[in-house]
């Protein structure tokens, strides 16, 4: 069954929402340029409220590997998601510091982007139309991809069932489509989980 990740949680009520619907993953954004940014201290507090069945993914953009490893060691995050220009050397350095699973995100605009993602040295890849843009990319580009992947970009309660049926991704990832006026909306989160698991 396709797993569910809801990204960009930043408030105590967001964690409470997640605990009610139990997606397999939630995401904390540690990139200061994001409107969904959380400080390490805030994330640690939120993680302490999170149901143990949900894995917390830390989202980073070209962050210092030692900083990321510190968040793993403190058990603030359970997985690492890379959204910048991190390369194989960067991933190798992270692996020296931690055994935490790594997701590498790729913005998909062409078949070449899929080819790059296919050979990533991360444990998982995430295919996205662009960071938090909420727009769908051409999913036909991924029909021949053989490795498991997270699928992000324009995933909504209205289309998630069709996306899962057509592509069977390892997981779907939603962020901006789960919000109303810039904040997580329980009804939208609940609708996504119900539609995906129906």
Active-site positions read: 7, 128
DSSP-derived letter for residue 158 is T
Q: Would you call 49 helix, strand, or coil by DSSP?
A: helix
The phi and psi torsions of 192 (rounded to 5 degrees) equal -65, -50
Q: Which of 188, 136, 132 is nearest to 162 (CA)?
A: 136
Q: Would you call 190 helix, strand, or coil by DSSP?
A: helix
Are 4 and 34 in contact by the 8 Å Cβ rule? The answer is: no
Q: Find the angle CA(175)-CA(178)-CA(184) to the nearest 5 degrees.
A: 95
Exposed / middle / buried, residue 26 (Cβ in 10 Å: 0-12, 13-18, 19+): buried
Which residues neighbour 96 within 8 Å (Cβ) at sequence distance 6 or greater? Answer: none
Paired tokens of 69? 């490893």
């Amino acid at each position: 069954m396709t797993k569910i990740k809801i990204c960009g949680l930043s408030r105590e009520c967001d964690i409470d929402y997640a605990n009610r619907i139990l997606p397999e993953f939630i995401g904390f954004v540690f990139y200061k340029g994001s409107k969904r940014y959380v400080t390490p201290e805030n994330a640690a507090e939120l993680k302490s409220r999170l149901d143990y069945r949900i894995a917390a993914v830390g989202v980073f953009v070209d962050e210092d590997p030692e900083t990321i490893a510190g968040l793993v060691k403190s058990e603030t995050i359970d997985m690492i998601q890379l959204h910048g220009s991190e390369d194989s050397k960067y991933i190798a350095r992270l692996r020296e510091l931690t055994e935490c699973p790594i997701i590498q995100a790729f913005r998909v605009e062409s078949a070449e982007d899929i080819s790059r993602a296919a050979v990533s040295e991360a444990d998982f890849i995430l295919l996205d139309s662009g960071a938090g843009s909420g727009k769908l990319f051409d999913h036909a580009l991924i029909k021949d991809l053989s490795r498991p992947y997270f699928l992000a970009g324009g995933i909504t309660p209205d289309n998630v069932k069709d996306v899962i049926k057509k592509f069977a991704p390892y997981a779907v990832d939603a962020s901006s489509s789960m919000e109303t006026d810039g904040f997580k909306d329980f009804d939208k989160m609940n609708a996504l989980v119900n539609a995906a698991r129906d």
